[in-house]
Structure 1
Amino acid sequence: MVLLNVLVYSGPGIGPNAYAYLIRTLRQFLSHRYAIIPVEPETLRKEPWESKAAMLVMPGGRDLPYVASMNGEINRRIKAWVQSGGRYLGFCAGGYYGSGRCEFEPGTAMEVVGDRELALFPGTCLGCAYPGYNYKTEDGARAAEVAVDRSAFGISQSTWKDDPDRVRIYYNGGGYFLTDEFLGKQSAEGSEVAVLVRYASDVSDPRDRSKRVASAPAIISCKVGSGMAVLSGLHPEYAWDFLAPSSYTQPYNQQLVQLLRSHDAYRRRLLGAIFAHMRIDVDPDALLDEVASEHSMRIPTATPTFIAPARVSGVAPVATTMYALNSAATTRGEIKVACVSDMVLQDAEDIHITNACPGDGSRRVSREYQQAVFAPLSPSAAAMRDSAQLVDGGKVDRSHSMLVLCTQDTLPDTKETPRFDMKLAIKYMQEVKAHTASSWLMYSDTTGSTQTFLEKNSRLQALLPNGTVNVATIQLAGRGRGRNAWVSPVGCLQFTMLLRHPHLKQAPVVMLQYLIALSVVEAIKALPGYEGIPLRLKWPNDLYAALPPSDTSADSSDGSDGSEASFVKIGGVLVSSSFKANEFTLLLGCGVNVANPLPTTSINKLIHQHNLRTGAKLAPISMERALALITAKFEEFYRQFLLHGFEPFLKRYYGNWLHTGQTVTLVDQGRERAKIIGLCPTAGLLQVRSIDNPGRTYNLQPDGNSFDMLQGLISRKA
């Protein structure tokens, strides 16, 4: 089974800064491969998160609220999951919480002392390692010098390059771990605790500050059944450019930011080594030396959104849309750049609308104007926005975006949009016969979310022509079903199509999610020679691929021996809607792995495997061509759907789905077992027949959880 989710506790007790910085760091290191998903205690209590989770991360904050929120059932599930192969990573308060006993500032007004139920490390975490901690200031912070035991990580020594054995890591309030080895005791049978990092300078004993303690364990790794817990008293997830030098006024921390900056590449490789030790795949780009030269996090920022007519013919419709968009931007902006009239459409965001600069070889947007609109936020503000949390009680800055109006003569070339060729995409769109779907093409190299941008900016949405498609190469906050994030590495085609759908009895709006998912699969299989590409549909809105038995490229942590074909997710559909004046306004969001082999597989990898098995010489499919094929196939299907509904597509849908003859459990019917028999073509519900009572059928709704759609189903009797 491919494990895609890195869960980050976001409930009571988290430190807002610690949480925000952690989210940004995890995205830098892991978002090429994993979805970084915040989880509340109720999610951990009620949903089947275990089956898709690669790691659970507990941020810094306060340990006691963690105890109050998670003691009992949640801790029992976490521990059972770790014992069966899960990975737990706890920073600072998360390290205290994962220990068998927490002793924090004993004998002081801040004292927190007691046994801990989770106890992934059976011993005590004792802190603070250094005196001076204060909940309201940064007085306890240090650029702690630590000694790294590289041999304890069990990874390639080349990971470390020529890094020194001693490095500086951010510390504020963490403890040290009283391991048997540190205490000079004989370890209990079956106990496997390794010290990865020690405090290099002496710390003091919180029980008696006059006593110095040498070589205290700062980061430990604990084998827990088949799984692992790594607990840290340090904050290696903190980068120097998160921090404000003015916050550090004590004699021992005035040089904190400067020290951390000089050791940032070492810090990142230490953090990368921790992930590698935990068998978590790391983006190699996060470990490069040159990242430290300017900003340790290389924070990605949004880029302009170019919009151009794609399938529209005739001057009048193009001119009408261009005029409407230009006229909507009635507020003059504050950006002063030569030869640019900064006009802003005030919507949920401030949308700067400009016309593409003409001329051969010219940039369509001047660098100065682009840099002014997308002026980088401070690291704290950027982290706050990305994590949807307040930092130090601050407010989230108002977002800025840019819409660049292009004709087909002023489209950007690949020097300006190197990862997507708008000219080529429009060429493919005009070759396939369609009119409405992809009538206009919007493209951003980097955006928050193609769907959220259209959804929240309702004034802009109302001005866009029916069939407009919004495409992006990178989404900073891609959305999946429920609370799921959508992992969107380069090579994933992600787009949202605006569709205005009339309220028709014969064409129920609920069926459009199935229609667009079917369009993706059929668009590829309709190409001559590509009929055997193993694309599948999973109800209600996921796209899957069948991996051949010999393929071992995907994560095989389910323990399978590869003797049978397995299925992995390569895409999904997300539909949002509003209704007014007898018409639905739909945003049909779709993400599908076209060219990226991670985190699961992709269409082009499936084509390559098909060629190897069969001797065929099928060409890979470009992002631009895939977009044209999918949207054209959707229009072909949609025209028939308007007249006849979904009934004509049922046979084709069943031919592509995974559920023929599948057995499910009806959780609200006494866990009655039932067999899937089909799809209701008007309501979109899943139809099943009871195994014990064949005369009894049910129509099923999705179960509403965010992790495993068919783990259980909410049923209602037909």
Structure 2
Amino acid sequence: MNVLVYNGPGTTPGSVKHTVETLRYLLEPHYAVSTVSSKVLLQEPWQTKTSALVFPGGADLPYVKECRPIIPAIKDFISKQGGKFIGFCAGGYFGSSRVEFCQGDLTMEVTGNRDLQFFPGTARGPAFSGFKYKSEAGAKAALLTLSNGAQFHSYYNGGSVFVDADSYDNVEVLAYYAQETDVPYTDNSDSSVKPAAVVLCTVGRGKVLLTGPHPEFIPKVLEKAHDNEFPPHLIDVLKQDDTKRIEFMHHILEKAGFKTRSDYTEYRAPSMTPILVTTRLQTKDRYTELQQNLKNNTECVIDGDHLEFSGEVDRFQLYQGYEDSLAAATAPLDNDDPEKSIKTLIIASDNEIFPSKQVTTNFNFENYFSTLKPENTVGSLLLYGEVLTSTSTLLNQNRSLLNSLPDNSVLFVGDVQLSGRGRGGNTWVNPKGVCASTAVISLPLVSPLTHQSTPIAFVQYLAMLAYSKAICSYEPGFEDLPVRIKWPNDLYIMSPDYYYSKNLNLFGSSFDHNQVPLTDIEPAYLKVAGLLINTHVFGDKYTLLLGCGLNISNNGPTSSLNQWVDILNVERRKNGQHDLPHIEKEKLLAEYMNNLQDIMHIFVNRGVQYLLPDYYKFWLHSNQIVRLTEHANTRAMITGITSDYGLLIAKELEPGSDYRFTGTTFHLQPDGNTFDIFKGLIAKKA
């Protein structure tokens, strides 16, 4: 399930960073922590796939303005669907029934009721004086007292006290301010009342965690902040209590109902690694081509044992010799700030072909290249990083590097991505077991054979078709894997829970998804892969980045291909058949490249109409009945995709009928509509 961190008007970049990193540290791999915009919350069907919604620090008023249209959906998600809400600092104000901030200060006062009303009382602040917007001048190390009497210091900057929190039946106070606050923390005369700093509210079926201070803030990250007004002694105090801070965050997340990482005290974020550039012996001239292109497209300098160049966003160093250069290529990597770190690449020396197991133990290069067809150009230049930022972003943000890659050759693979990217600007960390890759393909603006413009809207369909074919033809027996494409380019797999609850038998079925009623799509399927395409134009060609994250062997937070291999093997044993092997990422990626090259060749030279029948075999939506909300909730049946622009075809049904058509047909754009297969709705996007 997803944990969505709001990242839009009102947030500060620092607050989002601290929130995301702390939640990832404690919650992954059980949850996928990603950022999300208000636009996505308004337009996308996020509720059914989300465990928690998080509002980080910043400013409450912009939250109110930006999120007003989605307040009913958030309240429904918490109270009726049993979701969770976390509000840090500004998010704590936002989640309360009333805000009283800087009362009496005409330049900063904010007073008024709020619509979420998760905390039934008033969030009053700043709890401690000295706050300044967009500044650390008023920041403090606030001493918090827990219910068991333990204490620790937490970063604080402008947060509230939750007034009379102990008086509400649905509120549990998880921490109090140890010092007297500078604003009243009770509106009663009861002298036993204490200033509540962190509260947990029960709201209907859901839980709401609100804080005044910032227990999610990480001292090591704060230390890198460049604010001249930052109190210099603050970091030392926070560092001393950092273990207690993490323990407290772990405690309150468990109290809110999260499943947390059990090894959080020992866990350390993985360190960045160099990017290994490999190819076959027969195509080693690609190294020379790459180096020459870099010299033509960037300002390269030779610095000792490496070539140094800059892209539009990142700086790079290119070394030669996997074993000889590994230490030198690792040294420049800034593991505390991967985004700003120099990125290093290593190509083979004259007497090397593939990196040895001493260089990397997590990718079998020989297995990949032995599976890749000898005639394949797509995927023939493999870039591999064991731990990196993002395969797609690194190339997308550095056009000069992208333009230097040999045409139709590169597959960029990452085992662990620290800054993965998705649709709508979402970001996440993908753990081991989720295979992240970006294929770089070039297509002509106009087909040399058909003389028609290349309709690149279809590439998203065809890339996922290539992956689906690679999975289901991995070996005989894999055609029974219950994987299907959700329009336009997500890959779904049957939920094991659904499979067991319906007592299904898939052996020998070449998985016919018609076994699952269309009305059961929501409980029946889980997302196992997503595709994101970035497009560039260089001269007379498109260069497309096909970024995909596929869950091969990590069962959290949804399911994985290899979990399903194990399930099918139980059936196969009952039928006297041998076990299927677990999928190896190297072989699967090579088969993906084999299929992708064949499919793109047909697409460019013959047209998409020759490929759509295969796509329909793998998609979920044949004969699905939906409602067109932008057309007075008209009921229609999905019948296919247009062969010119890749529009979805929906035929209007006669009232009361599930099979008779009126003759009216609607065409809908993939990027102009939200297609929610779970609710049967197609909604026009703004």
Q: Distance in 2 between matches of 1:588 and 1:35?
A: 21
Q: In structure 2, what is the equivalent of residue 227 of structure 1?
A: 206
Counterpart CA distance in 2 for 1:247 and 1:106 is 30
Alignment partner, residue 142 of structure 2: 144
Confirm or deny: 8 A CA contact 2:562 2:582 kept in the other structure.
yes
> What is the TM-score with the length of structure 2 in the denominator?
0.84
Residues 3 and 34 of structure 2 are in contact (CA less than 8 Å); yes or no, is this contact kept in structure 1? yes
Deviations 1:350-390 (A, max 9, x none): 22222125xxxxx2424244322x2456x6xx7xx6xxxxx
Letter in 1 for 2:390: S
Give the aligned residue type for 2:416. Answer: I
SS, match of residue 416 in structure 1 = coil
Residues 413 and 281 (structure 1 numbering): CA distance in 2 closer, same or farther, change over 3 Å? farther
Aligned to 1:544: 492
The 1-side partners of 2:227 and 2:607 are apart by: 66
| Equivalence for 1:609 | 567
Pick the aligned partner of 1:691 from 644, 653, 663: 653
The reply to whether residue 622 of structure 1 matches residue 588 of structure 2 is: no
Q: CA deviation at 1:133?
A: 3.4
Residue 327 of structure 2: which of 367, 370, 379 is its match?
367
Structure 1 residues 205-242: Cα deviation after superposition (integer angstroms, max 9, x where no partner): 44899x99863221111111111211111211112223
Structure 2 equivalent of residue 559 of structure 1: none
2:177 to 196, 199, 206: 199
Aligned ranges 1:318-333 → 2 under 5 Å: 319-325=288-294, 330-332=299-301
SS state at 2:581 partner? coil
Please tell me whether the aligned partners of residues 185 and 194 of structure 2 are also in contact (alpha carbons under 8 angstroms): no
Tell me how far 1:108 sits from its aligned partner: 4.5
Is 1:421 the counterpart of 2:364 in the alignment? yes
Does the alignment pair 1:215 with 2:215?
Answer: no
**TM superposition shift of 1:675:** 0.5
Q: Residue by residue, what CA displacement relative to the aligned partner does 1:164-199 show, whole Å, maximum 9, x if unpaired? A: 8322222232222224635xxxx5xxx411112222
Corresponding residue number in structure 2 for 1:518: 465
Aligned to 2:436: 494
What RMSD over aligned residues (CA atoms) do the two structures have, in Å?
3.6
The separation in 2 between residues aligned to 1:669 and 1:206, in whole angstroms, is: 53
Which residue is equivalent to 2:97?
Answer: 100
Question: 1:30–1:708: structure 2 CA closer, same or farther, 3 Å change rule?
Answer: farther
Report the secondary structure of 1:600's partner residue: coil
Following superposition of structure 1 onto structure 2, how do residues 442-521 of structure 1 map, counting pairs within 5 Å? 442-465=383-406, 466-485=408-427, 488-502=430-444, 503-504=446-447, 505=450, 508-521=455-468
Bigger shift: 581-590 or 655-664? 581-590
1:340 alignment partner in structure 2: 305
What SS is found at the alignment partner of 2:103?
A: coil
Q: Separation in 2 of the partners of 1:442 and 1:54? A: 35
Distance 1:142 1:715, change over 3 A: closer
Which residue of the partner structure matches residue 74 of structure 1?
70
Structure 1 pair 76/246, CA: closer, same or farther in 2 (3 Å)? closer
Matched with 1:262 is 240
The amino acid that maps onto 2:177 is: Y
**What SS does structure 2 have at the residue aligned with 1:490?**
coil
Counterpart AA for 1:696? T
* Counterpart pick for 2:273 among 278, 284, 303: 303
Distance 1:319 1:509, change over 3 A: same
Q: Percent identity?
A: 31
Aligned pair partner of 2:593 in 625, 631, 635 = 631
In structure 1, distance between residues paired with 2:174 and 2:251: 10
Paired amino acid for 2:571: R
Q: Which residue is equivalent to 2:153?
A: 168
* Equivalent in the alignment of 1:390: none
Shift of 1:125: 2.0
Q: CA deviation at 1:123?
A: 0.9
- SS of 1:690's partner is strand
Identify unmatched segments of 5+ residues in structure 2.
502-519, 655-660
1:23 corresponds in structure 2 to 20
Q: Distance between the aligned counterparts of 1:581 and 1:539, measured in 2?
A: 31
Q: State the 1:442 CA deviation.
A: 0.9
With 321-330 and 265-274 compared, the bigger mean Cα shift is at: 321-330
* Aligned-residue offset at 1:247: 9.5
Q: Deviations over 1:539-574 (max 9, x none)?
A: 110111112446689xxxxxxxx9997101111222
Q: Distance in 2 between matches of 1:550 and 1:346?
A: 48
Tell whether the 8 Å contact from 2:308 to 2:317 is kept in structure 1 after alignment. yes
For residues 274 and 41 of structure 1, what CA distance do their matches in structure 2 show? 26
Residues 695-714 of structure 1 correspond to what in structure 2 (within 5 A)? 695-702=663-670, 704=672, 708=676, 712-713=681-682
Cα drift, residue 649 of structure 1: 3.2
Q: What SS does the corresponding residue of 1:102 show, helix, strand or coil? A: strand
CA 1:329–1:118: 2 relative to 1, 3 Å: closer
Q: Distance in 2 between matches of 1:400 and 1:640?
A: 40
Q: Indicate conservation of the 8 Å contact 1:326/1:353, yes or no.
A: no
Whether contact under 8 Å (1:47, 1:705) holds in the other structure is: no
Structure 1: 5+ residue runs without aligned partners?
151-163, 292-297, 358-362, 386-396, 554-561
* Cα displacement (A) at 1:612: 1.8
Q: Does 1 or 2 have the higher relative contact order (CA < 8 Å, sep 6+)?
A: 1
CA shift in 2, pair 1:135/1:655, >3 Å = closer
Q: Which amino acid aligns with 1:367?
A: A
Distance in 2 separating the partners of 1:50 and 1:707: 14
Q: Secondary structure at the match of 2:480?
A: coil
